Amino acid sequence: MSVAESHLHDHHDDHEHDHHDLPWIKKYVFSEDHKVIAKQYLISGIIWAIIGGGLSLLFRLQLAYPDANFEWLKPILGGWIQNGKLDPEFYLALVTMHGTIMVFFVLTAGLSGTFSNFLIPLQIGARDMASGFLNMLSYWFFFVSGVIMLISLFIETGPAGGGWTVYPPLSALPQAISGSGLGMTLWLISMALFIVSTLLGGLNYITTVINLRTKGMSFLRMPLTIWAFFITAIIGLLSFPVLFSAALLLIFDRTFGTSFFLSDIYIAGQALSFEGGSPVLFQHLFWFLGHPEVYIVLLPALGITSEIVATNSRKPIFGYKAMIGSMLAIAFLSFIVWAHHMFISGMNPFLGSIFMFLTLIIAVPSAVKAFNYITTLWRGNIIFTPAMLFSIGLVSFFISGGLTGIVLGNSAADIQLHDTYFVVAHFHIVMGSASFFGMLAGVYHWFPKMFGRMMDDKLGYLHFWITFIGVYMVFFPMHYIGIAGFPRRYYSFTGFDFTQSFTDLSQIITIAAIVTFAAQFIFLFNFLFSIFKGRRATENPWRSNTLEWTTPVEPGHGNWPGAIPTVYRWAYDYSKPGAEDDFIPQNVPFSETKGSNFPHENEQMVAEAGITHGK
């Protein structure tokens, strides 16, 4: 046993000792255990998803029934309902908060925070994260950031209302919209804290993956989940600071009268003194995070899906190296396509040409990933667990939503479609729903390891089918509305001649949204009920290869009671010809599977002997 290993082991024993002495608050609240922190992120994410999704129902009601009387919402919304009508500024605040909450709190913190924390140490064979303390700080920064955002929902002038992209000058001037007063200040403070949280988390994920892999866990033996979390953390580390700078400069403009983003403004009967700033500069900075952010939420979901699709097809993931390669390519390209959000922002059209070219390149690695998933299913022996169904749903969304990105990435075609419902449909399917399905798939799949019990399959199936059909019913029709030219973030479509069609479709969308939202309570019930009363899980209920399934049913502090397992093979030896069973876990040496080894693997047995006996 290496020195590092024995050290870790001793350390772990200490912890085991501490475990009983730890006061409740250190164990469950300010815990430094990655599994507890993951659950904290998960539960926070679920709560935020309910809030964020609930807000969307309010504005969907307004869109479907603009003439309805909303007096009945008065007990909840109070002054935001005037004479039975939703206040237009509050409508914008709802849209803004829905976007912010879903993108950052649910799909960034809820997804990466949960699964990077939970799976990285378990799948690479580590006792915990590189720094448990930073990890704990990361969660609590997120928590405080969430509390501040939540408070902003209840203040008199309302939360931020300039869209989740908070473009100045709208977001900088309280005269322009009431949400740009205190609401926007709280938004900026909350986001600043959120960025700190993301960076602390990301640093930890990267360090842990690089430094704490168990013996034999080379980079090319890492499960694709870990690759996805690792790449996601790098993207986050490089792009979130740019949002931080944008937020900081916006704070300066708002508070100290600087002119980074503001210029030549006359508002509320007054010419303001700002000169020489550029609103377009803010957009560049914002999207420099904003676009990588799409992949920050999507890549972990794709990683989770890779794992679940392989396990439940009982087949190796097709093109493991191509999957890594395409994730690296997507990560790289994600930094140089941001301005496709800005084709008609007034930036130089030559930039538009460059960004169109770069944007369409990103379709290639994305297509490779989709093809690889489909080929993994080919000639599999597929078991439809709820996790598998959600993963298949994700692949379907990834294709449907990804394809429409090809039209939007074409700057000439984007002129008409920019800021219409076509865009809303596109990113809700490919980024929102796909990532959300990845998150749900992950919860169903790793629930047994998180809580030692199984979630109920039947309720899972019901949840999947309502959600899958519901999501398509909500977002597919938006393409039609978008092609007809309906602009997004409109309080009502009654004012224009060209927006008089498709009112029936708007209502269908709203009804589908309500049903889909309601179906999430099936999940919530299943989740909460199963934590306490679910069927007891076994150590490896899905017959999976990765290391987390070698831990006890409920892994304690330090994850493995004995030594950390050594890794001898990649994570995808499913249905290997000649093998007794249809899976061979990563910790099984080739010397024990002589019947199924390929020639080059037999050669590795020599090296293996070295690993096992220590050099």
Torsion of CA 536, 538, 544, 545, to 10 degrees: 140
Q: Binding to other proteins (CB under 8 A): which residues in 82-141?
A: 88-89, 92
Q: Which of residues 262-291 bind other proteins (CB under 8 A)?
A: 262-267, 269, 271, 275-280
Binding mask 490-529 for other proteins (x = CB under 8 A): xxxx-xxxx--xx------------------xx--xx--x
Query: Closer CB to other proteins, residue 112 or residue 516?
Result: 516
Torsion of the alpha carbons at 186, 192, 195 and 201, rounded to the nearest 10: -90
Nearer to other proteins, 4 or 76 (CB): 76
With CA atoms as reference, report the closest residue to 198 among 103, 292, 104: 104
Q: How far apart are CA 366 and CA 349, in angstroms?
A: 26
Segment 581-600, which members bind other proteins (CB under 8 A)? 582
Q: Does 539 bind other proteins (CB under 8 A)?
A: no
Q: Is 332 in the site for other proteins (CB under 8 A)?
A: no
Please report whether residue 79 would count as binding other proteins according to CB under 8 A: no
> Which residue from 43, 367, 515, 605 is in contact with other proteins, where contact means CB under 8 A?
367
Pick the stretch among 119-127, 133-141, 193-201, 454-462 that binds other proteins (CB under 8 A). 454-462
DSSP letter for each residue of 10-44: HHHHHHHHHHHHS-HIIIIIS---HHHHHHHHHHH
Interface with other proteins in residues 180-239 (CB under 8 A): none
* Residue 170 interacting with other proteins (CB under 8 A): yes
- Residues 6 or more apart whose CB falls under 8 angstroms from that of 226 comprise 119, 120, 123, 124, 209, 303
Tell me: does residue 50 bind other proteins (CB under 8 A): no
Q: Residues 405 to 444: which contact other proteins by CB under 8 A?
A: 406-407, 410-413, 415-416, 418-420
Query: And the tokens for 129?
Result: 């994260």
What dihedral angle (degrees, nearest 10) is formed by the CA atoms of 287, 94, 489, 361?
30
Residue of the chain from 54, 319, 556, 589 that contacts other proteins (CB under 8 A):
319
In angstroms, what is the minimal distance from the CB of 308 to other proteins?
Answer: 13
Distance CA 50, CA 562 (A): 40
Encoded tokens for 269: 């009967």
> In this structure, are residues 19 and 557 in contact, taking their beta carbons and an 8 Å threshold?
yes
> In the complex, what is the shortest distance from the CB of residue 564 to other proteins, in angstroms, rounded to a whole number?
26
- Pseudo-torsion of CA 575, 576, 578, 584, nearest 10°? -90
Q: Which is nearer to other proteins, 155 or 459 (CB)?
A: 459
Q: How many residues bind other proteins (CB under 8 A)?
A: 124
Q: Which stretch binds other proteins (CB under 8 A): 8-16, 21-29, 390-398, 550-558?
A: 390-398
Among 382, 514, 553, 563, binds other proteins (CB under 8 A): 382
Do 506 and 478 contact (CB within 8 A), yes or no?
no
Quick one: which of 392, 443, 537, 588 contacts other proteins (CB under 8 A)? Answer: 392
